[in-house]
Each structure stands twice: as C-alpha cells, then as structure tokens.
Structure 1
C-alpha cells in the first residue's frame, strides 16, 4: 500500500469516527442554542480565539451529515451539494451562515477543528415559522350570555398567548375563564361593564403579533329577542283579527255579501286567532325561560290555553263534519254566546299581552352598553301602528253607527220595516248567531210574518 493510499484510508476512518461521535452527541446537551425564522438567515457561531489556534482543518456537520470541509492549505471551503449555494463559511473564527433556512434545517450542528473531538462544539438550531396576523372570533354579543373569544393564528406555531382588556392582563377568575393553551377566553354572564377593547397577543421565538376586538354588549339576550319578534308577529295577527271583525260589522248591506263569504271570513278570523294564540304562547314561554317562573306568566299561559281551546270549539261548531250530538251541545244558547265572543276576545287579549311583552323587552335594552340596532324604532312601530289603525277603525264604526241610529229615529215607525231591519242587522253580525229551532225562533212563523207584511 502506498503512502498516499494509506493517508486516504486514515482520513476516511477518522471521518467515519467523527460521524459516529456526532450521532452520539445528539443526545448530549448542546453548548449553544440558536433560533431562526423560516426564510431568513442564521449565523452558527464559531470558536473563541483560544480554541481557534493552529487550525489546519475545520469541518461542519448536521446530525452526522457533512456540510463542509475547510483546509487552511487551500483556504477554500468545500461544500456538499445540499449546502453549496446557501452557506457562507467565515475562516476567521470558523462560523457558518445558513441562508434561506427551512424547517428541515432544524437540528443539531457540530463544528470540529483539526478533527479533534476536544476542539468541537455542538449547536442546537431551533427554527420557527413566523406567526401570521391573528384573528379574534366571538360567538355572542348579548347581555346575560356566555361570550367566547377565540384567537386564531393560521400560520406559525404559538409558544404563548395573552389576553388583555383595556391594557390589563386577563387571568382566570369568576368573570373570565381561559383554556389550557389560552387560545380561548370565555366571559360568563356578560354584563355592561364587560364592554371594552380585548386584545390577543400571540408570540413565539421569532415573532409577536397583536389583534384587538371592540366588544359592544347589546341589551337583549337571545331569548328576549325571540320574545320580541314573536310578540310583534302576534300583535300583527291580533290587529288583523280586530280589523276584520269590525269590517264585517260595518257591512250593513247584505245584498253585496253572501252568507258563504260571511262564514268563510269568520273561519279565517278564527284560524288567525288560533295562530296568534300559539305564537303568543311561544313568546311567553321564551320569556319564562329567560326570566323564570312567575304568577303572572303562569296565569297568562293558562288564559292562552283556554282561549285556544274555545277557538277550536268555535271552529268545530261551524263545520258539518262534527258529530251531531257534539254540535248540538255547542249550539246551545250558553255555548253559542261564549263561542261568539271568543274570537274578538282572543284578538283583544293577544294585542294587550303582546304590547305588555314588547314594553317589558325595552326594559332590557339598558342592561348593555349598546342598544340593540333599531330596537326602539321596531317596537314603536309594532305598538303604535296597530293601536292607531284599531282606533281609527273604531272611530269610523262609531260614526257610522251613530248615523244609522239617527236615520232610524228620523224614519216613521213601521212594524214591517223594523222586522226587516232587525233581520238584516242579525245577518250582519260577524258571529255564529243564526236562527235555529233550538233558539226558540220558528222559521215558519218568521216567513208568515214576512208574507203578511208583503200583503
């Protein structure tokens, strides 16, 4: 074996031994830790002046994988293909500059002088991805609800997250609850004083980002808001019912309105009354769930149930498919009087109860730091318009009724005309009171009377 081959063999053996030492050194504590950001450059420090003497050879490796060899004879560093265009070696102290680093460059680096294990150093390179701008998401903004804030970072791994309210750090307590990683912060039973600016600070070793969110708490909790919406719908139905009944009462000329149309109109009003009662029942239930059980709430629910039952019975009394015996009971004098007034009574009670609920919902608006958008305007229109329309129709009805009475008083009394007028007035009533044998009125006698008047 020649001297050249022998030297080459010894050098290869030493390199293999150094790779083994580097592999074993991964389990050792590095002498220095360096932090770098993805896409940036990082400098791996070299040796001190004392250790960097009589240097013939410098070698850098990463987890046993060779990066470069530098010989003072040539003074030219030799890089492997993987690091050729992204590294700079400084022969002054043996430091190494890594450019455009990625997460794959994270690991343990070893530098050696003259292949001497005693003149080596181990460096741990920790690479982090810079954080993106965080975003804050919330699930609610109403009073008396639990408001959860989530600080979300789409890129990068956070090492710590802090929450601030008006420049004060938020910690776990009765008002606030932080998740284990602080990514989520919950405000229990939000009140007016919880309004303010909340800031999430996300941080890792290479970046720090802040994002702020202004919390405006509105006065209406979800259940109260549903109560308001349902009350407005019930109020609209109740106004339509009362308006429809008054319109039927204003029809004096029965020649222009058929009995079938009159009956269908009554059925429509009864169905509208049932719908309004069901909607108002749901509104009261939402109010009960929000404010708790009270005597007035229970009484209101009972009254609504009774009115709904009477409306169903009133509808049954006007249909032919109901059993004859049951229909006879419903057509008794007492039942007919009760069923005749149940529809207008339902409309009036639904209107009054809806207005009371809407007024009560306005008292919750002051619990938050912000009024619900358009709350007062919506409630004012919902309460004001039905009242104005109902009063207007009522005034028109009173005026027409007075005019009719004045005309009757000015006309000479005639028994036949009075009987005919009484018949037309009975037909014009928007209720189920029609002549039958059970009412003590003999249709035959009524016909004979009319014939006598005609004669």
Structure 2
C-alpha cells in the first residue's frame, strides 16, 4: 500500500500539531478499485450547534469534501457529489466507484460533540488504501534457450504487488548457492545451470486484496 508507515506517522504529528485537538479514533481500510466504502462518523445523532467537516489529504493537498452545520443543508464539493452519499444522522460518508487516487487520509472533525470527558472537537481519521486487483503474472525466461546463466522474471501487467514469492516444485526459494533473488524478488537468477535446476517454477504475487500465481517449466536437458 502506498500509505507508508512513515507517511502516516508524519501526517498524524503534523495534523495534531496544527489543530491542537484530541484524536478520538483512527481506522485503516483496504479496498479494491470500483468498490464502495463507508467512512463511519460514529456520531449518535446530529444536535443543534454541531458542525461536521470531512477533508481528504493525499501526499500534497487537502481537499474539502463536505461541510454540514446543524439546521443547514449539507454542502458537498462538486467533485464528490456524484460519488458520495452523506448520512447526516451520524456523520458517515459512503464513497463509491473507488479509484487508486482515492488512497489517502480522510479526516472528520465534529465541533460541538464532546464524547466522554473531552472538551475539544471530536476528530476521526480513516486511512484508506485502494488497490487494483492483480492480473495473472507472466514468467519470462532470459535467454529462452538454456545457457550457463538463466533469469526468470515475474511480470505483472495490472495491479501493484506488495510481495512476490518463488517456489520450485512447491518448495520456497530463497537466496542460496543455487539461486539469487533480486531485492524485490521480481527476478530469479540461476547461475551454473545444472540438472538440479530442472522443474516447475511458480511465481506468486500478492497485495492486500488479491493473490495470483503462474508456473513455468525450466527444461535443462542437453546441458550435460
């Protein structure tokens, strides 16, 4: 996911320092493209004097999504009008037809709502990570003929894999005298190709919402 832990921590410190308010809730949501998510306001009821505001933060900008003051018609920004449903009774926001660009931090502030012993505005953070479903990967052998050195590359055309795993005959492959893996595991290198390297190689790609794999047979007959 693109919302890295360092970005999340830095954002939290920045917002808290600027607003000097008490953070009541934080939530992390992982979702797929084109799905819908409900950003819960966790409000029991809208009362007189309350003001609700939803903002969206990406790595660069802050975007106002909605402002609602009790007794006044809620104002939803034009960009979100056809993609959102707002529930004024509890301050929740439903976001539809998700895109990867919707990944970021959603910030709810409710003035006039003081749960518990707090005397400061209620703050709620939702960290949303929207991922694209992974396509079935492709294993490319280079060179295509058997040489003393062969590379198998695992390529994904759609989606962003968070993890790539290799297996040979259903046994995990790690760096060893037989195999060398690239830092991101996308490429498997085999030096001094020998009979022991013959067999089925499986590449598995994963992200938070999907998992795909494919197998490739490495034929080394004729090297001996």
Higher RCO structure (Cα 8 Å, ≥6 apart): 2
CA distance in 2, matches of 1:81, 1:160: 37
Contact 1:131 1:209 in 2 (8 A): yes
**Residue 44 of structure 1 corresponds to which residue in structure 2?**
39
Residue 122 (structure 1) aligned with residue 125 (structure 2):
yes
Match of 1:60 among 54, 70, 78: 54
CA distance in 1, matches of 2:178, 2:126: 46
Q: Deviations over 1:113-156 (max 9, x none)?
A: 23665312122222233322211100246666222100011222
Match of 2:67 among 66, 69, 89: 69
Bigger Rg over Cα? 1
Rate the CA distance shift 1:23–1:104 in 2: closer, same or farther, 3 A. farther
TM-score by length of 2: 0.74
Shift of residue 92, structure 1, vs aligned partner = 4.7
**Residue 31 of structure 1 corresponds to which residue in structure 2?**
26
**Residue 166 of structure 1 corresponds to which residue in structure 2?**
169
Contact 1:151 1:183 in 2 (8 A): yes
Contact 2:40 2:93 in 1 (8 A): yes
**1:279-358 correspondence runs (5 A):** none
Residue 80 (structure 1) aligned with residue 52 (structure 2):
no
Aligned length: 196
SS at match of 1:46: coil
SS at match of 1:150: strand
Shift of residue 185, structure 1, vs aligned partner = 0.2
**Residue 237 of structure 1 corresponds to which residue in structure 2?**
none
Q: Deviations over 1:177-221 (max 9, x none)?
A: 10111000012222223222111111122322211112222214x
**Residue 323 of structure 1 corresponds to which residue in structure 2?**
none
Contact 1:161 1:202 in 2 (8 A): yes
TM-score by length of 1: 0.39
Match of 1:102 among 95, 99, 104: 99
If each structure's strand is expressed as a fraction of its own residues, which one has the higher value? Answer: 2
Gaps of 5+ in 2: 1-11, 114-119
CA distance in 2, matches of 1:177, 1:191: 15
